[in-house]
Amino acid sequence: MKMAPEEVKYGTPPYKALLNLRYEVLRKPIGMELREKDTALDYTEHHVGIFDSNRQAIGCVLLRPLNDHVVLLRQMAVLDSYQGKGIGAKLVAHAETLASQKGFTRIETRARKTAYGFYAKLGYTAIDNVFADEHTLTMGKSLTPGATP
Ligand SMILES: CC(C)(COP(=O)(O)OP(=O)(O)OC[C@H]1O[C@@H](n2cnc3c(N)ncnc32)[C@H](O)[C@@H]1OP(=O)(O)O)[C@@H](O)C(=O)NCCC(=O)NCCS
């Protein structure tokens, strides 16, 4: 598949397409809206998307700086009909490279139980093996070459 991840600027039409994707993939299936708190800090974050030839958003991921060293990977979503084709892995790899280039040395995520295996495949390990809440497990990975996760 030739589609490549691209950075998307906050507030632009592609950003709005990613918002819709976040709703469709992450919220609608659990009967929720995309809440104000889900998007309140969007303007501070790095947005990465993948689009098809019609510019339909098919995948996205966001990076939120937690401090000078650690970045939070969140809102990871791939459109149902495109799942299982390597798009999620491609988005995470792009996000990790971007985070590294921006000087972050560690990346973390709050993985849903159903996505635990996905992140584990990509080298993320559970932090203290503790669920951040009843639905999510905090997982992380070093961005320093050669370091242990
Ligand atoms: C989780 C999600 C982002 C994965 O994206 P994807 O494009 O389907 O994943 P990929 O095809 O890139 O998979 C990469 C590898 O992870 C594995 N994998 C993918 N999803 C998995 C899952 N839920 N559990 C275990 N392994 C998984 C794949 O089999 C693949 O392994 P391989 O390299 O050995 O073939 C996607 O399924 C999705 O959007 N799910 C719904 C929303 C969601 O749960 N988001 C994460 C919230 S924390």
Assign residue 20 the CATH number of its domain: 3.40.630.30
Q: Please check whether residue 88 lies inside any domain of the structure.
A: yes
Q: 141 lies in a domain?
A: no
* Mean pLDDT of the 68-91 span: 97
Q: How far is the CA of 77 from the centre of ligand 1 (A)?
A: 9
Which DSSP letter does residue 116 get? H
Residue that is written with structure tokens 């992450």 in the block: 26
Q: What is the pLDDT of residue 130?
A: 62
Residue 62 lies in a domain: yes
Q: Is residue 75 included in any domain, yes or no?
A: yes
pLDDT of residue 131: 62
Q: Specify if 16 maps to a domain.
A: yes
Within-domain flag for 120: no
Q: What is the mean pLDDT of the chain?
A: 93
**pTM greater than 0.75:** yes
Q: Is the CB of 62 under 6 A from ligand 1?
A: no
H or E segment to which residue 101 belongs: helix 87-101
Q: Is the pLDDT of residue 12 over 70?
A: yes
87 CB under 6 A from ligand 1? yes
Number of domains in the chain: 1
114 lines ligand 1 (CB under 6 A): yes
Supply the range of the domain harboring residue 54.
6-109
Structure tokens at 111: 């993985």
Structural domain contains residue 44:
yes
In a domain, 114, yes or no: no
Q: For 82-127, what is each residue's pLDDT tens digit?
A: 999 999 999 999 999 999 999 999 999 999 989 999 999 999 999 8
Pocket of ligand 1 contains residue 83 by CB under 6 Å? yes
Q: How far is CA 79 from the centre of its chain?
A: 13
Q: The sheet that has 46-51: what strands, in order across it?
A: 6-8, 46-51, 57-65, 70-78, 106-112, 136-142, 125-131
Nearest alpha carbon, ligand 1 atom 27 = 118
